[in-house]
Structure 1
Amino acid sequence: MVTTYTCQNGLRIVSEHIPHFRSVSVGVFVNTGSRDERPEENGITHFIEHLLFKGTKTRSAKDIAREFDRIGGDLNAYTSKEYTCYYAKVLDHHASLAVDVLADMFFNSVMEPEEIDKERLVVKEEISMTEDMADDDVHEQLWRVMYPDNAIGAPILGTVKTLDGFGRDQIFDYMERHYTPSNTVVSVAGHIDQELLRQIERLFGTFERSNPGKPHVLPIFVPGKSIKQKETEQAHLCLGYPGLSLKDDRLFALAVMNTIVGGSMSSRLFQEIREDRGLAYSVYSYHSAYSDHGTLAIYGGTAPHQVGEVEQLIRGSLQRMTDGDISEAEVEDSREQLKGNLVLGMESTGARMSRNGKYELLHGKHQTVDDIIGLIDAVKRDDVLELMKLTTQAPALSIIRSQ
């Protein structure tokens, strides 16, 4: 059972007690991501995520790493376009230590200038690594094309130019504006007890920062095109279409549609382009849903002289499905696959913690697994065909290929 408690400062604690597990996962979710950044701040959310591991008033960066290594635990973090998460997974009798370290990082990181400069070099290497991996870079280029005038189209990592502009005062100012109690959820799942929940409330439930924030500017999808030349053996192609927001009731129908289009090994695109024609090793589709919009993207990697053919095959397959070439059996198989992925994916404390934290942060409510299974079962073929019309719009296009 998932329980949510709101502290006196507005911070929410969401917990799920799973008595037969021997592990505990805890995550601190902050409702800020790259889309909250001003143009000159692009990448600062991700940079702060790195810096919170670089030492506190009582622990050095090495101390933080050693504490988790010696207990066989996992400590990590990630930044998305809409939120940031710091999380840990440990054996149940080390849960108190995990909460203490996360709170120390969250409240007491010192951000020494020399550590900021060192981590700036690390993130620059991360940016270079992404740019070197054309199958990653093509997605970044797609987002720039789709949303050229909105922060959601900018890279989560930022750029070398913006990274060089981040100073200690700017970092603390950003945290003061966004790392607020009302913006924060602490999620914990596993073999937990009331004392652990009281500890979380003691550490996180009294700090005060007040910032009303400002609503996101709704992204306007642009069906543009980007072709980037670089040294690469393959050509990489991405097509992007408008999708659905997290709050759209049709989201589960879109999940079924995506599974049929390119979300599995038995999908139309995988079977036609890879299995039947041998034109690509990797071809797939995915949907990204956010608070106020969504994006459907399709990727294919192929030989440079075949990129035009692969693009036309993708468009042709989408058109046939839009025209009605989707069977009841495909819809049924996709529903079953989604249900299987959902249930099997929940068999860890980390997955439960993550799901609960994101639901509380982004929805403010929770659905049981049975609720979600019911919504998936309710998807009909006509619902899928109606959503296929999304792909009849002019797409955004990103291509990376050799000169």
Structure 2
Amino acid sequence: MKKNKFVTSTIILIIGGLVTKILSMFIRIIMTRYVGSYGIGIYMLLVPTFSLLISLCTLGMPTAISKLVSEDKKNNKKIVLNASTLILLIDIIIITLVYISSNFIANNLLHEPKTYYGILAMGIVLPFISISSILRGYFFGKQRMLPHVITNIVEDIVRLISIVLFVPFCLSKGIEFAVAFLILSNVFSELSSIIIFLILLPKKINKNDIKPNKSYIKDILDISLPSTGSRLIGNIGSFFEPIILTFVLLKVGYSNEFIVNEYGILNGFVMPLILLPSFFTMAISQALLPVVSKGYSNNNKRYVSKKIRQAIFFSLLIGIPCTLIFIFIPDIPLKLIYDTNLGIPYIKVLSIVCLLHYIQAPLTSSLQAMGLARCAMRGTLIGMILRTITLFLLSFLKIGLWGLVISTSINIIYVTVHHIIAVKKTLKNSRN
């Protein structure tokens, strides 16, 4: 393993992440200008459901493929093809359930009929996201970060163009159709990624590569199921977030319009702004997983410990300055990006806690790479339970969406501290 491989991979991902983050900001600005805070509120009500469905459809396959490919002990083409077949079968089941339950989710769970068409749009998008994520996992395992960067940039450009071209037309038909297209636009962006990945993949595939193999499927599931557990638990918590919030706040006297608008401000403006540095920490965690996985499988614990410390240091290097900006001058980036001053009090509180969130992704990747996905899942599960309980109880206090702010903060603190302790304990017990 080349010593500079991790640093090179990280730099490529950071540069790519910066470009895609700028493009994402443009997309967010255009979305806000087209559909307004109310439309963004409807869109943000849909996001937790969309994230949950993506987790169910991808089933942790990208992590499993990245780990297996990086270890280089099996036929990589066979890994990708077996994973693709399995995931498409799962997608068919989930998409069927989505269409059957879409009306119930929109009217009885989210309490917003305008989310109905957005839920239907999710079913169309899911297979494209699944295949794209599997191909992405292969290139991560090979530590070839350039295809990931290129596809991310192309995705955002394609999505930006499709939104500009089609959202105004959809808006003339109704806000619900415009919001639905914001989700549907992912079809075009993910399809562009799939085409690029297929061009860059090895071309020689024989019949044996395509044939399903129980051993390969078992190896994939042994990694993917525990790995997806952490993400799935977080997504389940996020899925119930707007359901609990709307149920309790409507019960204590808040109007549906207030809830949708405030939820849109918090999750449409505040959280994306605070999590802006996450492109950096996600780049680090993506580059870290195959490096730690290979180092740990070779029993090189000192090397693993060094790389994890580097990842945390670089995450804080960008996280601390951003946190200071969000605490002392939050109105400037908020006005610059979203042309609004709404949500400043939320930003000042959440930015302090999110400093811990910036190091959570590298810690989670480290645990997964060291075969401790179940440990990460357990920490995430307890954090989600704490968040859900506190959200439910605090929402009865008639403090608006501050209950959500406080419960989110509790979750971030607990999960990050749990992961720090788990990583330190593992490296201490297994030190050479």
TM over 0.5: no
Task: Write 1 or 2 for the structure with the bigger share of helix.
Answer: 2
Higher strand content, 1 or 2: 1
Structure whose alpha-carbon radius of gyration is higher: 1
